[in-house]
Amino acid sequence: MARATPISKIRNIGIMAHIDAGKTTVSERIMFYAGKTHKLGEVHDGAATMDFMAQEQERGITIQSAATTLTWKDHMVTLIDTPGHVDFTVEVERSLRVLDGAVALFCAVGGVQPQTEKVWMQSEKYAVPKIAFINKMDRIGADYYGVVAEIQNELGCNAVPVVIPIGRADAFQGIISLISMKAVYFDDADRRTLRVEDIPPERLAGAKKWRANLVEKCAEQDDVLMEKFFDTGDLSETEIWTILRQATIARKIVPVFCGAAFKNKGVQHLLDGIVNLLPAPNEIPPIIAAETDGDEEPGRREPTDEAPFSGMAFKIVADKHAGKLTYIRIYSGTLLTGQNVLNSTLNKSQRIGRILRMHASHSENLEMAQTGDIVAVVGLAHTRTGDTICDEDHPIQLTSIEFPAPVVSISIAPNSKMDNEKLSAALYKLADEDPTFTVSFDQETSETIISGMGELHLEVIVDRLKREFGVSAKVGRPEVAYRETATTLVEGQYKHIKQSGGRGQYAHVCMRLERLKPGDGFEFVNEVVGGRIPTNFIPAVRKGVVRAMTSGPYAGYPVVDMRVVLTDGSYHDVDSSDFAFQEAGRACFKELFLKASPILLEPVMSVEVMTPEDFMGASTGSICQRRGRIETMEDKGAYKLIEGMVPLSEMFGYATSLRSMSQGRATFTMQFEHYEAVPFFLTEQIIKARRDANKIR
C-alpha cells in the first residue's frame, strides 16, 4: 500500500535530560513552529500540551512520556517528551528502547548533571544517535563553551558545535550557523521571524575558529574529504551536512546546537538538526530476534513495509474513553485495523481494534500503520510493556525492555471498605501501565502493599487513584523493600509424613542450597536419578520452594540469589502426592535456609547533592550520618557536587532535612544502585519489628 510519507522522511525522536532542563518547553516550541499548536503553553502555568496529566500541571514536572506527531520541512516527526525525575526513569527507558534518535538537552548554566549522565548511559545502551541542545542561554551564568567541554569530557563523546551563540544571558540575541556562516537573530515581537545577516565583524574570528573545528571533525570521518580539506582548507555546505549526518547516525559525532526555548530562540535550527541529522527508521540496523525458536528464517526483520509485520509494545495506558491503549513501535511490515496478530512473548493471538496516532492527550483514527510508525492500538487485552507483536505466520521475538525493580513499599487500604474491589481493580490497571510499580498482598497482615521507585512515584499513584479512579485510600509509612539471602552452603533433608487415618502423606526430599551472584535471582536444579522421586512430583517440590522464598523464612522478605539443588529423596506408592511433595519442598527449604547463615539485603542508593560551598560541611555530614559513604566531591561552577552511597532506609525525609539545613539552596537526586547486606545490629531490630507486627511466619 502506498505510503503517505516515504520512510526516509520519518523521524522518531525523544527528548531526554535531567529534571527542569526545559524538555517540555522545547517540545512546546517544536509543536508551535511545526504549526501543531497555535498558542504556546508554558509549564509553569500548568498549560503545556505535553504535560496534560493533572499531577504534571500542578507540579510543573513531567511524569509520563507523551508522544505527538508533527511535520517539519516535509518530514513526519514523532516526538516523545520524557520526564527528568529519577522516579519516572521507566518512561525514559521504554522511550529510548523504541526511538531512532534523541535530543539530549543541557542547561547552559547547570551543564552535565548526574541525571544527565544517567539518561545518556541509558541511550548508549540502546545505541541511540543523539544531537545536543544547550538550552537556557538567556540565564545569568550561561556558558556554552564550558558545557560543550563538559559534554566532551564527562560524557566521553565527540561533541561538535554546529552553531555558536551571539551573546549570553540578557545579551543573548541569536546564533551563528557554522554551516552557512550566517548570523541568525530571533525577533522577540514575532516569534517566528528569523533575521539572517552577515556575521558581525567583531564575531568573525571566533566564528571562523569554530567553523574550522567543525570542518576538521567532519573531514576526520572520511579520507577523501580529509584530502580535500588539506588541499583547500574548507568543505562545502553539502559536504558538511552529508558527513555530519553519517557521523551522527554512526554515533561518531554529537552535533551541538543552542538556544533559549523559553525565549523562542534557536528551536527552528534544532528542528532542522532533527530532520537533517538524525536517522530515518530504515537507516538504523535491522532488528534482530532475541531467540529464533526453530524459525527457519534468520531472526531479523528488514525495516520495509513488505517484510512480515513486527513491532514492540512499549507503553500501556488505561484511557478513560478508549479503554486500554497499547503503544506500538512498528519495526517492519504493515498493520491494519481488524487484523489478527501474534503476541509472541505470550504466544497469544490478538486482534487489532482501532489504530490511533497520538497527539499528547488527543488522537486521530488510522486505517493502517506502517514500518517506522509509532501508534497506539486498542484491543490488545493481554499485551504487556516489552512484549513483541508480530505476523502470525512469521513469529519473531525481540529483546524486551529492562526495568529496574521497585525499592520503596507502602501499605494501602481504601478509606471506605466498600471501595476494596475498586481499589484492587485500579491498582492492577496502574501496574499494567507501569512495570516499575507492583502490587502484592501480605497474607500475614492482610495488607495490600504497593511498591515503586521512590516516594514521589507512590505519591503520584495514590493521587491518580483518587482522581482517575475515584478511590480515596490511606497509606502506611514508606518501607524499604528488603531481601533475604543465605551466605553458606548447606545440605539436608526433610521427610513429610502424616498418618492420621485414611490415606497418609509421604514425601522425602534432600536438598543443597548454594548462593548465586547478586542479581542472579533463583535457580532450581534437579539432580535426582533413577526415579527416586518420580519426575511428575518434581514441579511440586519446586513450587513448595518458591512458596517458601516469596515470604522468606528469616524475616518474611523475598529470598533472592539462591540455587536450590534437589539431590535425592524417596516416595511411597500410595501416600505420595503433589501436595505432600510441595509441603516437603517448602519445609526443607525453610529449615536449610535458616541454617545457611541468612542475611538481609537492603537497597543502596547513589545520592548526589549539589550545594553552595557554605553548606558543604553540613551536606557531607548529612550523608555520613545516614550510614552513607562519600565517593567523590568536585566543583560544579559555583556549586559543589558530592556523590555518595546511602542505604535507602536512611533517605526517607531527606529532602526536607537538606532543605532546612541549607536554607533551601542545596538539592539532591538519588537512584537505586544495588543491594547490600544490612549490618547485623539493624537486622536484629528489623526482625524484631517484623515479629511484633506479625509479619514472620
Ligand X SMILES: Nc1nc2c(ncn2[C@@H]2O[C@H](COP(=O)(O)OP(=O)(O)OP(=O)(O)O)[C@@H](O)[C@H]2O)c(=O)[nH]1
**C-beta separation of 262 from 136 below 8 A:** yes
CB of 117 to ligand X, least distance (A): 15
Residue count of the chain, please give it: 697
CB of 56 to Mg ion, least distance (A): 8
In the chain, the amino acid numbered 89 is T
**C-beta separation of 177 from 162 below 8 A:** yes
**C-beta separation of 557 from 454 below 8 A:** no
CB of 319 to ligand X, least distance (A): 21
Listed in order, strand segments (DSSP E) in 352-444 are 355-359, 362-366, 368-370, 374-378, 388-390, 397-398, 408-414, 438-442
CB of 107 to ligand X, least distance (A): 8
From residue 9 to residue 48, the character string flagging contacts with ligand X as x (rule: CB under 6 A) and all else as - is: --------x-xxxxxxx----------------xxx----
Residue in 33, 262, 437, 469 binding ligand X, rule: CB under 6 A: 262
Q: Of the candidates 477, 429, 188, which has an alpha carbon nearest to the alpha carbon of residue 316?
A: 429
Place of cell 516489552: 386
Piece in contact with Mg ion (CB under 5 A), picked from 15-23, 512-520, 533-541, 665-673: 15-23
Choose the contact partner of 22 out of ligand X, Mg ion, none; CB within 5 to 8 A by kind: ligand X
Place of cell 532475541: 290
- The cell for 651 is 533517605
CB of 547 to ligand X, least distance (A): 42
* Of residues 17 and 471, the one with the C-beta less far from ligand X: 17
Choose the contact partner of 86 out of ligand X, Mg ion, none; CB within 5 to 8 A by kind: none
* Of residues 138 and 387, the one with the C-beta less far from ligand X: 138
CB of 62 to Mg ion, least distance (A): 3
In the chain, the amino acid numbered 308 is P
Choose the contact partner of 139 out of Mg ion, ligand X, none; CB within 5 to 8 A by kind: ligand X
Choose the contact partner of 21 out of ligand X, Mg ion, none; CB within 5 to 8 A by kind: ligand X
Piece in contact with Mg ion (CB under 5 A), picked from 55-63, 328-336, 453-461, 602-610: 55-63
Listed in order, strand segments (DSSP E) in 264-373 are 287-291, 300-301, 310-319, 323-332, 334-336, 340-343, 348-351, 355-359, 362-366, 368-370
Choose the contact partner of 267 out of ligand X, Mg ion, none; CB within 5 to 8 A by kind: none
CB of 388 to ligand X, least distance (A): 29
Count of helices and strands (H, E) across the chain? 16, 38
**C-beta separation of 584 from 492 below 8 A:** no
Which residues fall within 8 angstroms of residue 496, CB to CB, at 6 or more apart?
Answer: 505, 506, 507, 508, 580, 581, 583, 584, 587
* Of residues 84 and 273, the one with the C-beta less far from ligand X: 84
Alpha helices in 128-200 (DSSP H): 144-155
Residue in 37, 55, 62, 385 binding Mg ion, rule: CB under 5 A: 62
Piece in contact with Mg ion (CB under 5 A), picked from 24-32, 221-229, 336-344, 617-625: 24-32
CB of 454 to ligand X, least distance (A): 14
**C-beta separation of 667 from 610 below 8 A:** yes
* Of residues 90 and 260, the one with the C-beta less far from ligand X: 260
Choose the contact partner of 628 out of Mg ion, ligand X, none; CB within 5 to 8 A by kind: none
Is the torsion defined by CA of 394, 395, 396, 400 positive or negative? Answer: positive
Residue in 11, 23, 265, 590 binding Mg ion, rule: CB under 5 A: 23
CB of 84 to ligand X, least distance (A): 3
Piece in contact with Mg ion (CB under 5 A), picked from 18-26, 183-191, 197-205, 430-438: 18-26
**C-beta separation of 179 from 240 below 8 A:** yes
Residue in 10, 16, 18, 24 binding Mg ion, rule: CB under 5 A: 24
Number of residues forming the site for Mg ion (CB under 5 A): 3
- The cell for 522 is 533463583
Q: What is the DSSP string of 668-691?
A: EEEEEEEEEEPPHHHHHHHHHHHH
* Of residues 66 and 623, the one with the C-beta less far from ligand X: 66
- The cell for 207 is 566564528
Choose the contact partner of 274 out of Mg ion, ligand X, none; CB within 5 to 8 A by kind: none
447 to 471, 474, 497, 555: CA distances (angstroms): 17, 12, 33, 16
CB of 60 to Mg ion, least distance (A): 8
Q: Which residues in the 125-144 window bind ligand X by CB under 6 A?
A: 135-136, 138-139
267 binds ligand X (CB under 6 A): no
Helix (H) or strand (E) holding 31: helix 23-33
CA distance 40 to 368: 31
Place of cell 552535565: 112
Choose the contact partner of 254 out of Mg ion, ligand X, none; CB within 5 to 8 A by kind: none
Q: Which residues in the 51-70 window bind ligand X by CB under 6 A?
A: 61-62
CB of 109 to ligand X, least distance (A): 9
Choose the contact partner of 325 out of Mg ion, ligand X, none; CB within 5 to 8 A by kind: none
Which residues fall within 8 angstroms of residue 419, CB to CB, at 6 or more apart?
Answer: 471, 472, 473
Place of cell 483514527: 365
CB of 260 to ligand X, least distance (A): 4
* Of residues 61 and 352, the one with the C-beta less far from ligand X: 61
The CA-based diameter of the chain, rounded to the nearest angstrom, is 104
In the chain, the amino acid numbered 382 is H
CA distance 357 to 26: 21
Q: Of the candidates 106, 8, 20, which has an alpha carbon nearest to the alpha carbon of residue 61?
A: 20
Q: Which residues in the 72-111 window bind ligand X by CB under 6 A?
A: 83-85
Choose the contact partner of 3 out of Mg ion, ligand X, none; CB within 5 to 8 A by kind: none
Piece in contact with Mg ion (CB under 5 A), picked from 54-62, 118-126, 257-265, 356-364: 54-62
CB of 115 to ligand X, least distance (A): 9
Q: Of the candidates 620, 614, 628, 629, which has an alpha carbon nearest to the alpha carbon of residue 664?
A: 614
CB of 619 to ligand X, least distance (A): 23
Q: Which residues bind ligand X (CB under 6 A)?
A: 17, 19-25, 42-44, 61-62, 83-85, 135-136, 138-139, 260-263
Q: Which residues bind Mg ion (CB under 5 A)?
A: 23-24, 62
